[in-house]
Amino acid sequence: QVQLVESGGGLVQPGGSLRLSCAASGSMFHIYTWAWHRQAPGKQRELVARISSSGSTVYADSVKGRFTISRDNAKRSVYLQMNSLKPEDTAVYYCHRWDTAYWGQGTQVTVSS
């Protein structure tokens, strides 16, 4: 059974930064694509970014240029660096092992002045 533990969320002002972390249990972390999704109240969950086993990345247009997804296979962790945060980035952010039912518990990100 895969367990994902997220951290790094919080309250920040517009223009601020946060770094989210997701630590995964289990073996063969390195062969999977990992992703971050987010869901705001009353809105559909959406893909924010994903990173493949080779390190190639995909970003939502709304975060491109501001967010960076990365991974550390030795630490079995995936990260999301969020810069220049906007109020519309406010959501619960979830770590996800791509194309599986494995999700993190979610971490709240609130961007407000």
Which pLDDT score, from 0 to 100, does residue 10 have? 98
Average pLDDT of the chain, as a whole number: 96
Mean pLDDT for 79-103 is 96
pLDDT at 34: 97
Percent of the chain whose pLDDT exceeds 70: 100
Please tell me the distance from the alpha carbon of residue 77 to that of residue 5, in angstroms, as a whole number.
9
DSSP output for the chain: ---EEEE--EEE-TT--EEEEEEE-SS-GGGS-EEEEEE-TTS--EEEEEE-TT--EEE-TTTTTTEEEEEETTTTEEEEEE-S--GGG-EEEEEEETTSS-B---EEEEE--
pLDDT in the model for residue 2: 85
Inform me whether the pLDDT recorded for 26 exceeds 90.
no
The pLDDT, as a whole number, for residue 109 is: 98
Percent of the chain with pLDDT over 90: 93
Q: What is the pLDDT of residue 36?
A: 98
pLDDT of residue 27: 82
9, 108 Cβ separation under 8 angstroms: yes
